[in-house]
Amino acid sequence: MKKKILVLLLAAGVMALTGGCGDKEQENSKQDNVQDDSEDGSQESGAVSQPQQVDYDVEKCVKLGDYMGLEISLGSYEVTDEDVKNNIESMLSSYPAYEDTDKTTVEEGDIANIDYEGLKDGVAFEGGTAQGANLEIGSDSFIDGFEDGLIGKKVGEKVALDLTFPEEYGNTELAGQAVVFNVTVNKIVKKVDMTYDTLTDAYVADNFVSQGYNNVEELKKGVRGQLESNNETNKQSDTQNELLKQLRTTCEIEVPKELLDTRIQEYKQRVLANVEASNMTMEDYYTQMQTTEDDFNEQVKQMIQESLENQLLLEAIAKKENISADEDGYEEYVKSVVTDFNFESEEALIEQYGEDYVKNAYVSDKTMELLIDNAKITYDGKNDTAEKEDAQGAKDSGDDTEKETEKAE
């Protein structure tokens, strides 16, 4: 579960790594931070200062119950052929397939395959040139006059369209400006249904080469790999969430009121800063999120309450099990967080969240690993520990065989 505890703590939009007073080893673990909605670690506009320190005694906040050997049962995280098919079918809807027709004259409703170049004052402007573009005549995809100007034109014919961009056009350099589009009608095509079962290498190369897929086999393999990666992430996250859920039922937790109130206020300040950076008011935000101020306040309170409960639990267990941040492991952890969350550097990570938080995140990571290693976990009715042992046994057996072969040689 290495590196995944940080994802867990960010899941609710709150980084809640806290610590207790009265213990030298724990005195530096008093940092709570708030994370932007994205999982990108880069600093966003509207950021607020690092959280205020709040002192408390974690042993008074948490009364530990059974936390080792918890039983967890979750569903399957295997990727099936049907999963791959459904995912690709969904992708195909964004990439229409076309085939040539024998039509020679463009009419309303036709799909014309064209090359075009837009000129302003005789100079090509950015975004105004394309080759092999498929344009449905009458779709109003282009500015007024462009599509109408192609009606009646023959395949192979070239035409110069004298047009004017609308005053309200998004690009201010082109808004209201007169331009000329030199257009060549290459052919008239029609849409065809492309399905998982009718996929061709040519279609994949035409539409997915930018994603690294040149043929059907590469596409299917790539999609399966991505689904497996996503499922593994979900598996780890779900396992952690279920384990913490059970811990909250077997342990007694009391989040200090000052800590809760402080973190709620800090979170709201972060939201307000981001809202204002988007030139909106909180009323605009509530409308956009389809909520009310009262509902928003209640949601924030519940979210931070649970996040703090989780962190207090992990902190209490870490203290009970004498888990601390070893230097080598911590350095490796920092590097992994920088990579996984796209921080510019280790210094940027520490500057944004503080070294206390990052160290405590690492300790929580180690604590979660200990809990999961000692839990009895089944996925889709299969014992995870037994499967790991079988896999390791097979690997060890293979290694032994390889060594014996080397000796014989």
The stretch 312-319 carries a mean pLDDT of 95
Q: CA-CA distances (angstroms) from residue 303 to 17, 51, 307?
A: 14, 17, 6
At 128-144, the pLDDT tens digits run 999 999 999 999 999 99
Quote the CA–CA distance of 15 and 26 in Å, as a whole number.
18
At 291-307, the pLDDT tens digits run 999 999 999 999 999 99
Q: For the domain 97-193, what is the CATH code? A: 3.10.50.40
Q: Look at residue 48 and tell me whether its pLDDT is greater than 70.
A: no
At 192-211, the pLDDT tens digits run 989 999 999 999 998 999 99
Residue pair 203/128 in contact (Cβ under 8 Å)? The answer is no
Task: Write down the pLDDT at residue 354.
Answer: 82
Quote the CA–CA distance of 254 and 60 in Å, as a whole number.
8
One-letter amino acid at 263 equals R
Q: Look at residue 18 and tell me whether its pLDDT is greater than 50.
A: no
Task: Write down the pLDDT at residue 165.
Answer: 97
Task: Write down the pLDDT at residue 404.
Answer: 59
* Displacement of CA 212 from its chain's centroid (Å): 20
The stretch 151-167 carries a mean pLDDT of 97
Q: How confident is the model at residue 290 (pLDDT cuts 50, 70, 90)?
A: very high
Task: Write down the pLDDT at residue 54.
Answer: 87
Task: Write down the pLDDT at residue 46.
Answer: 45
Q: How confident is the model at residue 2 (pLDDT cuts 50, 70, 90)?
A: very low
For residues 171 and 13, the model is more confident at 171
Q: How confident is the model at residue 341 (pLDDT cuts 50, 70, 90)?
A: confident
Q: CA-CA distances (angstroms) from residue 244 to 60, 172, 302, 314?
A: 19, 53, 15, 9
Q: How confident is the model at residue 23 (pLDDT cuts 50, 70, 90)?
A: very low
Task: Write down the pLDDT at residue 26.
Answer: 38
Domain ranges for the chain, please list them.
Answer: 4-67+251-374, 97-193
Strand pairing category for 71-74 and 376-379: parallel
The stretch 15-26 carries a mean pLDDT of 35
Strand pairing category for 97-100 and 158-164: unpaired
For residues 408 and 175, the model is more confident at 175
Rounded percentage of the chain residues whose pLDDT exceeds 70: 81
Q: How confident is the model at residue 72 (pLDDT cuts 50, 70, 90)?
A: very high
Verdict on whether the full-model pTM lies above 0.85: no
Task: Write down the pLDDT at residue 349.
Answer: 86
Q: Look at residue 5 and tell me whether its pLDDT is greater than 70.
A: no
The stretch 258-266 carries a mean pLDDT of 93
Task: Write down the pLDDT at residue 78.
Answer: 96
- The mean of the pLDDT values for the chain is 85
For residues 157 and 357, the model is more confident at 157
**Residue found by looking up tokens 């300790």 in the block:** 363
Quote the CA–CA distance of 205 and 201 in Å, as a whole number.
6
Task: Write down the pLDDT at residue 403.
Answer: 56
Q: How confident is the model at residue 270 (pLDDT cuts 50, 70, 90)?
A: confident
Task: Write down the pLDDT at residue 91.
Answer: 93
Q: How confident is the model at residue 350 (pLDDT cuts 50, 70, 90)?
A: confident
- State the burial class of residue 80 (Cβ atoms within 10 Å of its Cβ: 0-12, 13-18, 19+): exposed
At 206-230, the pLDDT tens digits run 899 999 999 999 999 999 999 999 9
